[in-house]
Amino acid sequence: MSDPSKHANLSRPLPAIPGRGVVILGSGSAVPSGELTNDELADIVQTSDEWIFQRTGIRKRRICDHAKGESNLTLCTESLRGALAQSNLKASDLDLIICGTITQDFRCPSTACLVAANLGAGTAAAWDLGAACCGFVYSLNVAHDLIRIGTHRRIGVIGCDTISAITDYTNRGVCILFGDAAGAVVLSATDDTTKGCIAQVNKANGTGWHDLYMPTWIENIPENSDWNTVRIGCLQMNGKAVFKFAVSTFQELISETLAKADLPVEAIDMFVCHQSNARILEAAREKFGIPTEKLYVNIDRIGNSSAGSVPLCFDELNKAGKIKPGMKVLFLAFGAGVTWTSSLWQF
């Protein structure tokens, strides 16, 4: 055994590799054609538009129409196709595709492999990253660092979930929140070393898994569960516990990222946040005094689309011309696992 005291202090941040920055060349997104409004949900379960909107800020969510051929894979493919088009690149220019998702059409092979085949990415490496709502931001950080250390030059990063496929539409505590969406970005190496991720936080606490999970087997279900509502293959959520975790973690995540970057909150030009619940976003906005125009919200018309939510928000902002060179953009997410993550970029 080697003596640990002889090794480098692993808690110290790694020095940046000189001579290489990272840029987001382009973005894309895809939402399915179907819409499910609060009023339509109120025909299925005992709820109302007023109850849902007051507690979540959601009016409607997007849902895949399988009869029209829409699925997780089609949304992933379309979103990366859009990001490549904006980047003026072909799929074969990529050397890696990472797809953050937990709702793959196929358990095997990975969605990333199938997207690579659909778009003609040749022999680019491809894998999925399963981290629920954190899937995209975790993947963004991994992709950034692979480029920064020099092993890859161009990476397509997708975030997509089609939670409708694992939603029990008789469980009103869950079905009101989630919808389907995808977004993607293309990252590239650049000689401008000032560009790229300047601070990131990646965390998880698996002891909280039972507050938001999907059982595959009956043995997965914790003993003290409400057996009337639990369904195999459907998302289970302790809404109150997740709300409590999300409000405090989201705020700590912002503080920790700013501290790592040694920046005040005013230095951030845009907050691109996971759209879990409008009240959670609003609590953070008020606590940090963030102007409304700096914290993007689309949950009212999209719902919570898990790994799709952050890249979809980014693409909507990008298409609206609101992401400009020189800006500092903070990506933030938290979700099942439980997991939480941030990525602060200098554009």
Burial 197-206, CB ≥16 within 10 A → b, else e:
bbbbbebbee
Give the C-alpha distances (Å, rounded to integers) separating 340 from 91, 142, 202, 243. Answer: 30, 14, 6, 14
Nearer to ligand COA, 77 or 309 (CB): 309
Site string for ligand COA, 276-295 (x = CB under 6 A): xx------------------
For the annotated catalytic residues, the residue numbers are 133, 274, 304
Judge whether 254 and 274 are in contact, CB under 8 Å: no
Query: Is 335 near ligand COA (CB under 6 A)?
Result: yes
Site string for ligand COA, 68-107 (x = CB under 6 A): ----------------------------------------
d(CA 141, CA 282) in angstroms, rounded, equals: 25
Rounded least distance, CB 181 to ligand COA, Å: 14
Judge whether 185 and 82 are in contact, CB under 8 Å: no
Q: Given candidates 27, 29, 56, 74, which one binds ligand COA under the rule CB under 6 A?
A: 56
Q: What are phi and psi of 238, to 5 degrees?
A: -95, 90
Query: Is 172 near ligand COA (CB under 6 A)?
Result: yes
Query: Is 131 near ligand COA (CB under 6 A)?
Result: no
d(CA 271, CA 283) in angstroms, rounded, equals: 14
Q: Given candidates 51, 53, 209, 347, which one binds ligand COA under the rule CB under 6 A?
A: 51
The DSSP element (H or E) to which 42 belongs, if any, is helix 38-42
Rounded least distance, CB 49 to ligand COA, Å: 10
d(CA 5, CA 60) in angstroms, rounded, equals: 56
Query: Is 214 near ligand COA (CB under 6 A)?
Result: no
Judge whether 201 and 258 are in contact, CB under 8 Å: no
CB atoms within 10 A of CB 160: 38
Q: Given candidates 155, 246, 299, 312, which one binds ligand COA under the rule CB under 6 A?
A: 246
Stretch that binds ligand COA, among 50-58, 68-76, 158-166, 295-303 (CB under 6 A): 50-58
Q: Which positions touch ligand COA (CB under 6 A)? A: 47, 51-52, 55-56, 133, 172-173, 176-177, 239-240, 242-243, 246, 276-277, 304, 335
